[in-house]
Amino acid sequence: MKTLLVPVDFSGPSDNAALFAADLANDRQYDDIVLAANLYVPIFEQIIPSPDLLQITAADIQQKKATIRQQLEDLQTAVLKRLTHHTTTVRLVITDLPLVRAILEQVCNENPALVLVGSNSIDATDSSIIGLQIIELAKVIPVPVIIVPPKSSYLPVTTALVAGNFTSLVCIDPLKLLGKIIHGPHPRLLLLDAAASRSSQTAFDPSSAANAALTELLKGFDYQLDHLEDKDILQGVLKFADDNPVQLIIALPGRHSFLYHLTHQNIQHGIWLNARKPVLILK
């Protein structure tokens, strides 16, 4: 069974990620969508009154849980209306763990093929709590993650951008994950060699072992290789995506990713600026 897991907090970006998941399930025939919300109340808030002498009771928690349940059911209805495959199920989960732990627990329980996380934008008036922790989530979730910008709607992926250092066999090897993640017709791949600096020693050699490895790993894919000249890697990748008919940006896992050597602030700023292109982070 192919499952999509969508953490939700009922903000605009979160709801958009859930609808994005429905359209993805329609196009790539996923079997199951899990909408997961969390209601975490620290124990000290239950035993120590606030400065206003207010204290959260068990009844308050049950009322909040009932409200979340109703919001989940409303979102479930919206997702079901979006689905065209009537065999696709939409299940609801409410946990009482902190956000990151709650999502990791659901990844363990549901074994999803993908986790979809809605991101905030720099001018967002409807900020998502989940979006504020998106970098931490993208790092710790052990399965591939799609970051869904708040202005992004799903488009069938006919062309995807993959950024990385393709002069290295070590960095090329993670591309084998693409065949496991991309079900159905393979999109055309634009490989963007995003080395931070280039020299004659690092320039891509068409007759090299790296090129032979690319040819072998990407059997069944139509692809072309381009070189990033911009010293600002993140801005260069986003500009390349805007200048080409790309529906998805793919980031390689861990230290092979074009995101790996960037600071927390740079990644967050880049996510904010990336208003329309979803990013798939391989694991």
pLDDT in tens, 229-256: 777 778 888 889 999 999 999 887 766 5
> Which token pair is 201?
């020693």
Q: What is the mean pLDDT of the chain?
A: 82
> Which token pair is 116?
């979809």
Contact (Cβ atoms closer than 8 angstroms) between residue 281 and residue 138: yes
CATH topology of domain 159-276: Rossmann fold (3.40.50)
Beginning with the edge strand found earlier in the chain, give each strand of the sheet holding 3-7 in spatial order. 89-95, 32-38, 3-7, 114-118, 145-148, 279-281, 248-251, 159-164, 188-193, 223-227
Which among 78-82, 126-130, 188-192, 195-199 has the top mean pLDDT? 78-82
Number of neighbours of residue 81 by Cβ within 10 angstroms: 9
Mean predicted confidence (pLDDT) in 69-79: 97
Comparison of pLDDT for 67 and 175, the residue scoring more: 67
pLDDT band at 41; cut points 50, 70, 90 = low
Amino acid identity of residue 133, one-letter, is: Q
Comparison of pLDDT for 164 and 69, the residue scoring more: 69
Fold equal for 3-148 and 159-276:
yes
Q: Delimit the domains of the chain by residue range.
A: 3-148, 159-276
Comparison of pLDDT for 28 and 51, the residue scoring more: 28
Residue 132's pLDDT is: 87
Comparison of pLDDT for 45 and 107, the residue scoring more: 107
pTM of the model: 0.85
Mean predicted confidence (pLDDT) in 11-21: 96
Q: CATH classification of 3-148, choosing from 3.40.50.2300, 3.40.50.620, 3.30.70.100, 3.40.50.300?
A: 3.40.50.620
pLDDT band at 225; cut points 50, 70, 90 = confident
